[in-house]
């Protein structure tokens, strides 16, 4: 296989794919990493995901550069999952979108082969439009559905958890310091 006619953007796409599929740090073996215990909002998750998708696409279109468009299309819809601290859904969604994008490019290249003139261009264009439609549907699903599921799961994980803490206590009227045990259910 010869690589001389290949676009340098494929190297950037491969590098971004590796970054998008990376997992979250896990901390010390056997311990769960520190997680945010504050309740999250589904509407905030959706807004973050929509903004992280739309802004790079608009910037890329304005600059005429495909790199922000690719980054926004692959990573943007997962940002709602990242907000809800759900790295599994975030990386799975990015992987699906990357696969759809790669399949679209390969499908368009295959469709363009074997034809002459405008016929091959028409088939390649149809493959790109079909792949773009599938990518848009998957991105919309991740922005509006999976980000809300991630928020719901995040809130349920910490809503029903009992919390016990031990702290120092100094009585208001003076006296010696003591130990206070706080428990919430």
Cα angle value 69/134/41 (rounded, 5°): 70
Lowest mean pLDDT of 35-39, 97-101, 141-145, name the range: 35-39
Q: Identify the weakest region by mean pLDDT among 39-48, 63-72, 110-119, 126-135.
A: 110-119
Query: What tokens were used for 105?
Result: 């490019």
Q: At 18, is the pLDDT very low, low, confident or very high (cuts 50, 70, 90)?
A: low
User: Which among 96, 125, 92, 94 has a CA at the least distance from the CA of 108?
Assistant: 125
The residue among 84 and 2 whose pLDDT is bigger is 84
Handedness of CA 102, 106, 111, 116 (dihedral sign): positive
Average per-residue pLDDT in the chain? 79
**pLDDT > 80? residue 1:** no
Average pLDDT over residues 121-144: 90
Using only C-alpha atoms, what is the Rg of the chain?
24
When pLDDT is cut at 50, 70 and 90, the band that residue 90 belongs to is: very high
Would the pTM count as exceeding 0.85? no
Q: Give the mean pLDDT of 87-96.
A: 94
Average pLDDT value for residue range 38-55: 93
- Domain ranges (residues) in the chain: 10-22+37-184
The yes-or-no verdict on residue 32 having pLDDT over 60 is no
In Å, how far are 14, 29, 118 from 8, measured between CA atoms? 10, 39, 26
Q: How confident is the model at residue 170 (pLDDT cuts 50, 70, 90)?
A: confident
Structure tokens at 53: 């998708």
Q: Residue 71: which pLDDT band, with cuts at 50, 70 and 90? A: very high
Vertex 166 angle, CA 160 and 169, to 5°: 130
Q: How far apart are CA 176 and CA 170, in angstroms?
A: 7
Q: Residue 141: pLDDT band by 50, 70, 90 thresholds?
A: very high
Q: Which residue has the tokens 């045990």?
A: 181
Cα angle value 173/175/176 (rounded, 5°): 140
Place of tokens 């991630």: 150
> What is the rounded distance in angstroms from the CA atom of residue 55 to the CA atom of residue 69?
9
Rounded CA separation 6/66 (Å): 15
The yes-or-no verdict on residue 87 having pLDDT over 70 is: yes
Give the residue from 13, 28, 147, 18 showing the smallest Cα distance to 84. 147
Residue 67: which residues within 8 A CB-CB, separation 6 or more? 9, 12, 60
What confidence score (pLDDT) does residue 2 get?
42
């Amino acid at each position: 296989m010869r690589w001389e006619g290949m676009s340098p953007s494929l190297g950037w796409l491969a590098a971004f794919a590796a970054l998008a599929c990376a997992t979250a740090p896990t901390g010390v073996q056997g311990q769960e990493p520190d997680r945010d215990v504050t309740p999250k909002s589904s509407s905030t998750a959706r807004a973050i995901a929509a903004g992280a998708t739309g802004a790079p696409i608009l910037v890329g279109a304005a600059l005429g550069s495909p790199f922000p468009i690719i980054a926004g299309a692959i990573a943007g819809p997962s940002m709602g999952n990242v907000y809800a601290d759900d790295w599994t859904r975030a990386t799975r969604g990015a992987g699906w979108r990357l696969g759809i994008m790669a399949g679209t490019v390969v499908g368009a290249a295959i469709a363009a082969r074997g034809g002459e003139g405008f016929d091959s261009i028409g088939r390649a264009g149809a493959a790109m439009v079909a792949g773009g439609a599938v990518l848009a549907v998957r991105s919309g699903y991740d922005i509006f559905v999976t980000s809300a599921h991630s928020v719901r799961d995040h809130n349920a994980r910490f809503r029903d958890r009992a919390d016990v803490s031990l702290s120092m206590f100094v009585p208001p009227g003076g006296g010696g310091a003591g130990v206070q045990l706080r428990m919430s259910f």
